[in-house]
Structure formats: structure tokens, C-alpha cells
């Protein structure tokens, strides 16, 4: 006899981890809209609107700009399976968990990966990138994580595109924890390929990964010597569904696209500059609150993410015990570190609809009560 499932009754959580972030009520309401078919003319109009909104948020005129079906990791795999061919030299700036994942994916598709290493939490200088490109020439792709979710460090990108192009390389960037929460200027910075995710600063549920490809990179894609080694994520097929051809590829999640379109509308209604300023102001409020508790931030202020703070766990404090009490007593969800930072930091996300001053106040006061000698 099969077990009966009761009504869904999920606890309310204040989502202050590295993702997902809280979803704006307008996004949730929009997702209850009736479904239409994937070849319906009204659906095609929605797709066009979605692309136009996404270009505005990415700050790009790239024709090939669309949301891939799948989470941010699907976006990461999309860019590597489409732009890497066996034997290609790919230089990757490795300073955290997600740059390590970049290396794994690039290697799966046959890249000759050249890692340039920094301790977790540090960032790369233009001089280091210039030296790496010279050392490993010819390089096809130079790749970075813009906002490293595992460390809370922000990699400066100004000038990196010009440097990559001077050496004949494409600049590929992970914008998963930055798009919608801080400046991401695809065209101005010369970024050729970028991907993000809906569940962070864009304030939508997980399940879509925005991707944008420059004209330079599109020529590389269409000039491949070999076929893309992934059918589901093959941009040469998917773009024919998103452009005027409307050639069916796979059935998209209608509700996720409804929500994403509304999330992008909210970003642009607020205004990119205003939204970036809100994320920064909320982050600075959190930094001040943590310092008032005698806590240290893992990353120096110059390179801290406004979307995600990494807080050093004091000596003698049990990481999991505090996070468990935050969840069970206050319904606050934050995350710990992993890899070399496991047990050493807390990761507190202030992204999208979660990036609000009142959330910081509640979290900091809860932490004050839970930490010995700081109440």
C-alpha cells in the first residue's frame, strides 16, 4: 500500500544563504498564469520580450542572448561544451570552488586547461593575466568567476577583455552571483561569453541560466571543426528556436519563463544603478553589524561582494551548531564554507529580494543572542 502524502506545508525561511534567494511576490503571482504551448504566437512574443529585457540587464546588444533551461551549472556547461574543442588551450583563474568546477567541465570537453592559482578569497591582477596569456600562447579562452560564491570575492574585470583579445582569446565570465546585484557590463568590458542564474540577484526561482554570446564568440561557435558534444545544451540548435526560425528544440518550463520575465521587469523598474546601490548599501550595513559584534570579514573591503558576505567564525564557536539554531529558532537560513574554508566561515547572501535592511537587523540580532559573550 502506497503512503499518502499530505498537503504541502513548507516552513517559512528567511533565505540568507548563497542561493536560492527570496522570490519577489510579483514573480510568484506571475508564475500562476495559465500555460500556453511552446509554438504559440503569444509564447514567441514573450520570448522576444524576455530576450530584450535580458540584454538590458546584461548591458549588451548581443543577438545571441537567452535563458538556458537548467540552473547556473547548466549555464557553465553550456559555455564550455559550445566553445571548447579537443586540444584548445583554456586559461582559468582558480581562486575558489566554482573556478575549480570550470576546470572540470573544460577538461570533460577536451580542453588543455592551464590553471593560474590564487589562495581562496584573493583576486587576479592584470599583470598576472598578461603573463599567463603570454606563457600559454596561443590561448582560445580566458575564464574567470566574477563573483566567487565560495569565498565572497569580487574579481575586477575592467581591461580583461582588451587583454584577452590582444592575445587572440575569448573572455568567458561566470556572473552567477553578480548579475542584477552589481555592475555587469558585457559590451563595455569586452566580455565574449557569460552565464548567470535566476535564483540569486535576479530574485527568481532556480531553473534557468541566462547566457550571452558576443559576435566575436558567435563566429568562433559557428566555425567549430567538430560538432558540439552535448545535444541538449548545443547553442547552434537552441538559437534556431529563439531566433526567427522558431525551430523546436525542447519543451521549455513555461512557468519559469513567466517568472523570469517578471523578475527582469522588476530589475529594470528599480533601475540597474539603483539596484546596484541597494545591494551595496545593504552589504555595508551588514559589514558594520558584524564588526559591532567583533566579527571579521574574510575578504578585504576592496574586493568584497555586495551580494554575499563571508564572515570568519570565531575560535571556539561551532559552525553547524550556530547555523542549526539560526534555522530552528529564527527560521534564518545561511550557509557554511566548504573546501579549505569548511568550518572557518559563514556565507550570508543578500541577493535580490533578500537584500533588505530589515533582514540584516534580524540576522545580526539573532547572531548576537547566539554567540557567547556578545549579547
DSSP 208: E
Residue 50 lies in a domain: yes
Residue 375 lies in a domain: no
pLDDT of residue 372: 80
pLDDT of residue 3: 73
Quote the Cα angle for 132-95-312, to 5°: 150
Q: 225 with 295, same domain?
A: no
Residue ending a domain, among 217, 233, 268, is: 268
Residue 121 lies in a domain: yes
Write the CA distances from 156 to 124, 214, 287, 300, integer angstroms: 8, 20, 20, 14
Asked if residue 1 has pLDDT above 90, the reply is no
Q: Minimal CA–CA distance to 233: which of 91, 55, 109?
A: 109
pLDDT of residue 23: 98
Q: 233 with 307, same domain?
A: no
Q: 212 with 360, same domain?
A: no
Spatial distance between the Cα atoms of 21 and 351, rounded to a whole number of angstroms: 6
pLDDT tens, residue by residue, 250-267: 999 999 999 999 999 999
Question: Which residues does 5 contact at the CB level (< 8 Å), separation at least 6?
Answer: none
Asked if residue 373 has pLDDT above 80, the reply is no
DSSP 4: P
Per cent of the chain over pLDDT 70 is: 99
Residue 1 lies in a domain: no
Asked if residue 269 has pLDDT above 80, the reply is yes
DSSP 368: H
The cell numbers describing 153, all together, are 570575492
Residue ending a domain, among 221, 243, 268, is: 268
Structural domain containing residue 227: 25-268
Q: 54 with 178, same domain?
A: yes
Q: 327 with 183, same domain?
A: no
Asked if residue 48 has pLDDT above 80, the reply is yes
Q: 263 with 320, same domain?
A: no
Least confident of 7-11, 107-111, 139-143: 7-11
Q: 283 with 216, same domain?
A: no
In angstroms, how far apart are the furthest CA atoms of the chain?
67
DSSP 89: E
pLDDT tens, residue by residue, 146-186: 999 999 999 999 999 999 999 999 999 999 999 999 999 99
Q: 216 with 276, same domain?
A: no
pLDDT tens, residue by residue, 196-248: 999 999 999 999 999 999 999 999 999 999 999 999 999 999 999 999 999 99
pLDDT of residue 221: 98
pLDDT of residue 367: 97
* CATH number for position 150: 3.40.640.10
Per cent of the chain over pLDDT 90 is: 98
> In degrees to the nearest 10, what's the CA dihedral of 323, 326, 327, 332?
-110
Cβ atoms 54, 198 nearer than 8 A = no
pLDDT tens, residue by residue, 307-366: 999 999 999 999 999 999 999 999 999 999 999 999 999 999 999 999 999 999 999 999
Q: 219 with 303, same domain?
A: no
Residue 2 lies in a domain: no
Residue recorded with cell 556565507? 347
Cβ atoms 124, 244 nearer than 8 A = no
Spatial distance between the Cα atoms of 336 and 322, rounded to a whole number of angstroms: 10
Q: 145 with 277, same domain?
A: no
* CATH number for position 361: 3.90.1150.10
State the chain's mean pLDDT as an integer.
97
DSSP characters over 119-142: -TT----HHHHHHHHHHT-S-SEE
Residue ending a domain, among 239, 268, 297, is: 268
Strands ordered across the beta sheet of 308-312:
308-312, 345-349, 335-336
Domain count for the chain, please give it.
2
Taking residues 103-122, what's their average pLDDT? 98
Residue 131 lies in a domain: yes
Q: 105 with 219, same domain?
A: yes
Q: 131 with 262, same domain?
A: yes
pLDDT of residue 4: 84
pLDDT band at 375 (very low <50, low <70, confident <90, very high): low
Residue 221 lies in a domain: yes
Residue 278 lies in a domain: yes
* pTM exceeds 0.85: yes
Taking residues 103-116, what's their average pLDDT? 98
Amino acid at each position: 500500500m502506497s503512503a499518502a502524502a499530505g498537503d504541502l506545508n513548507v516552513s517559512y525561511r528567511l533565505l540568507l544563504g548563497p542561493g536560492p534567494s527570496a522570490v519577489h511576490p510579483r514573480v510568484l503571482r506571475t508564475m500562476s498564469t495559465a500555460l500556453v504551448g511552446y509554438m504559440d504566437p503569444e509564447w514567441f512574443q514573450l520570448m522576444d520580450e524576455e530576450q530584450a529585457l535580458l540584454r538590458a540587464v546584461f548591458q549588451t546588444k548581443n543577438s545571441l542572448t537567452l535563458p538556458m533551461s537548467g540552473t547556473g551549472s547548466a549555464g557553465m556547461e553550456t559555455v564550455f561544451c559550445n566553445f571548447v574543442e579537443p586540444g584548445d588551450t583554456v586559461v582559468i583563474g582558480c581562486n575558489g570552488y566554482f573556478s575549480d568546477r570550470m576546470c572540470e567541465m573544460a577538461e570533460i570537453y577536451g580542453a588543455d586547461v592551464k590553471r593560474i592559482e590564487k589562495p581562496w578569497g584573493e583576486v587576479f591582477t592584470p599583470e598576472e593575466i598578461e603573463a599567463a596569456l603570454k606563457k600559454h600562447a596561443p590561448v582560445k579562452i580566458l575564464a574567470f568567476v566574477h563573483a566567487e560564491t565560495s569565498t565572497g570575492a569580487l574579481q575586477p574585470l575592467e581591461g580583461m577583455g582588451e587583454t584577452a583579445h590582444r592575445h587572440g582569446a575569448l573572455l568567458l565570465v561566470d556572473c552567477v552571483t553578480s548579475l542584477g546585484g552589481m555592475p555587469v557590463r558585457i559590451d563595455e568590458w569586452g566580455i565574449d561569453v557569460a552565464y548567470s542564474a535566476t535564483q540569486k540577484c535576479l530574485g527568481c526561482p532556480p531553473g534557468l541560466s541566462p547566457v550571452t554570446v558576443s559576435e566575436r564568440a558567435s563566429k568562433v561557435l559557428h566555425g567549430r571543426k567538430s560538432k558540439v558534444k552535448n545535444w541538449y545544451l548545443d547553442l547552434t540548435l537552441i538559437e534556431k528556436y529563439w531566433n526567427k526560425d522558431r525551430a523546436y528544440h525542447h519543451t521549455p518550463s513555461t512557468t519559469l519563463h513567466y517568472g523570469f520575465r517578471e523578475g527582469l521587469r522588476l530589475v529594470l523598474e528599480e533601475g540597474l544603478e539603483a539596484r546596484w546601490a541597494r545591494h551595496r548599501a545593504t552589504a555595508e550595513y551588514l559589514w558594520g553589524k558584524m564588526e559591532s559584534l567583533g566579527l571579521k570579514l574574510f575578504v578585504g573591503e576592496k574586493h568584497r561582494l555586495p551580494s554575499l558576505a563571508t564572515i570568519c567564525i570565531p575560535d571556539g564557536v561551532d559552525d553547524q551548531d550556530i547555523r542549526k539554531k539560526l534555522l530552528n529558532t529564527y527560521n534564518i537560513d545561511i550557509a557554511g564554507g566548504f573546501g579549505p574554508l569548511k568550518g572557518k566561515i559563514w556565507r550570508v547572501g543578500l541577493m535580490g529580494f533578500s537584500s533588505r535592511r530589515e533582514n540584516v537587523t534580524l540576522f545580526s540580532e539573532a547572531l548576537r543572542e547566539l554567540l557567547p559573550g556578545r549579547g
